[in-house]
Amino acid sequence: MVRKTKEEAEITRRHIIAAARRVFLAWGVGRTTLERIAAEAGVTRGAVYWHFRNKTELFFAMREQAILPFLDRVVFKEDDADPLQGIEMALQEIFHILRDQAEVRETFEIISFKCEYVNEFSGMMQCTGGQLDFLGKLTEAYRRAEARGALRAGSAPADLAHDTFLFVGGLIKHWLAGRPDERFRSDPAGLIRNHVALRRA
């Protein structure tokens, strides 16, 4: 066996994560063996065990990679002229990421449908910190909109934020699950536009 440099080892590590994503998606996390991941990555199980303590750690490494784009790209712009526009664009951006970045989409598909939330994983089904953060930012954005008089009367920002949060959760799930011809999959932009329009003053 030819010993690799640090850079080459890092590449191997990424290959293993990418292979894991493909195999998880096709077989589900539970039915995926490290042997199969290794084969898919063109290495042996020994290599996988070298880089990751076990399947769980590999799973979390994969998950981490997919969350980063959202932290970077989903932001609530403060548009004084139309505060709700910032909310709408943030929501749209979620689906742009899912559409454009296959690895992110596949990872979300795995998290949503190819994984059992039990034992070490059971905490993951609750709202994660990132999700609560998103809910908080949504609430702030609606508050700003209210201050600008952009909201229709009778709706508290916090309630609107909760409603939007649940809407987005449902949409992500159905978007991921749906076949291309289904509405949830084909027209998230329209659904988001309608959702936000309901809130306009």
| Chosen residue from 18, 25, 39, 44 binding DNA by CB under 7 A | 44
Task: Decide: is 38 part of the binding site for DNA (CB under 7 A).
Answer: yes
- C-alpha–C-alpha distance, residues 73 and 120, integer Å: 29
| Chosen residue from 22, 25, 28, 55 binding DNA by CB under 7 A | 55
Task: Decide: is 114 part of the binding site for DNA (CB under 7 A).
Answer: no
Partner whose binding site includes residue 102, from its own copies, DNA, none (CB under 5 to 8 Å by kind) = none
Complex with DNA: residue 9 or 75, whichever CB lies closer = 9
Residue 162 corresponds to which amino acid? H
Reduced to 3 states (helix: H, G, I; strand: E, B; else coil), residue 3 is: coil
Selected range binding DNA among 34-42, 94-102, 116-124, 151-159, rule: CB under 7 A: 34-42
CB-based contacts of 124, cutoff 8 Å, min separation 6: 111, 117
Please report, as ranges, the residues that interact with its own copies according to CB under 8 A: 26-31, 112-118, 125-127, 152, 154-156, 159-160, 162-163, 165-171, 173-174, 177-179, 182-184, 190-191, 194-195, 197-199
Selected range binding DNA among 47-55, 125-133, 167-175, 186-194, rule: CB under 7 A: 47-55
The three-state (H, E, C) secondary structure of 6-54, written as one string: HHHHHHHHHHHHHHHHHHHHHHCCCCCCHHHHHHHHCCCHHHHHHHCCC
Residues in the chain: 201
